[in-house]
Amino acid sequence: MTGKSQHHAMQAILKCMMKQNLSRNGNSDMSGKCVIFAGAEMNSISDISIDSDTFIICADGGYNNAVKFGITPHIAMGDFDTIGSNTVKGCEIVKYLPEKDDTDTMIAVKTALEKGFDDITITGALGGRLDHTFANIQTLMYIAEHNARGRIIGDSDIVTILKNSSQIYRKIDGYTFSMFSLTPCSEGITTHGLKYNLENGRLLSSFPLGVSNEFVEKSCKIEVKNGVLLIIFSKL
């Protein structure tokens, strides 16, 4: 598969994720798209959907990532222990003390939700320190619990959450598809379009049964009746 066609496939699945209907959660008043730049190393933003209406927030060192790709954020925020706030130009600056309960990325997510954005993409949040990566995955849980859509897009992975609902995901050639339970037990899981399907099955947080599955069709449908699934596309 060529790089161009793979890029189109990535864009297709991201659009599919962004169209997930949240009205059943009673949150139809929220609207809008926000992209948050975190501070892990980034090599590309070609798979990040950014247009003139996208609100951009940088979490501390994420400002350097945005600037590297020619993007001026609307807000840069955090404790600025990675970069000095005096290096930030052309946007609003919100500075916090280093002694705080929230990570810089969580502060950015809370700000996005407070501003009414219901579609949040986090980038620059994978591939660095493992503790930071896990914190960012927990931040996706926070987004889901506040009835918004969230995903993390890295150079080699796309990570999202499916909570008590169903969703269609499109195949990306050259990527595996994995599901993990973030709750102790996720039940009522039914899948279609994968090599290894479940029918009203369950996944446990203590056993990685859902790792490295494959598409056998152009898309798959995943349903979980009770629980939270971590969905990961990983480049082979």
Q: 117-138, pLDDT tens digit by residue? A: 999 999 999 987 899 899 999 9
**CATH code reported for the domain at 29-153:** 3.40.50.10240
* % the chain with pLDDT above 90: 63
Burial of 83 (0-12, 13-18, 19+ CB in 10 A): middle
Q: Is the dihedral of CA 183, 196, 232, 163 positive or negative?
A: negative
Q: Whats the size of the chain, residue-wise?
A: 236
Closest by CA position to 149, among listed 22, 13, 10: 22
Q: Looking at residues 22-31, what average pLDDT do you find?
A: 39
Q: How confident is the model at residue 85 (pLDDT cuts 50, 70, 90)?
A: low
pLDDT, position 26: 34
Alpha helices in 104-178 (DSSP H): 104-114, 130-145
Q: Looking at residues 104-112, what average pLDDT do you find?
A: 94
Note the pLDDT tens digit of each residue in 147-170: 999 999 998 999 999 999 999 999
In the chain, where are the structural domains located?
29-153
The token duo for 91 is 């946007």
The token duo for 105 is 């990325």
pTM above 0.85, yes or no: no
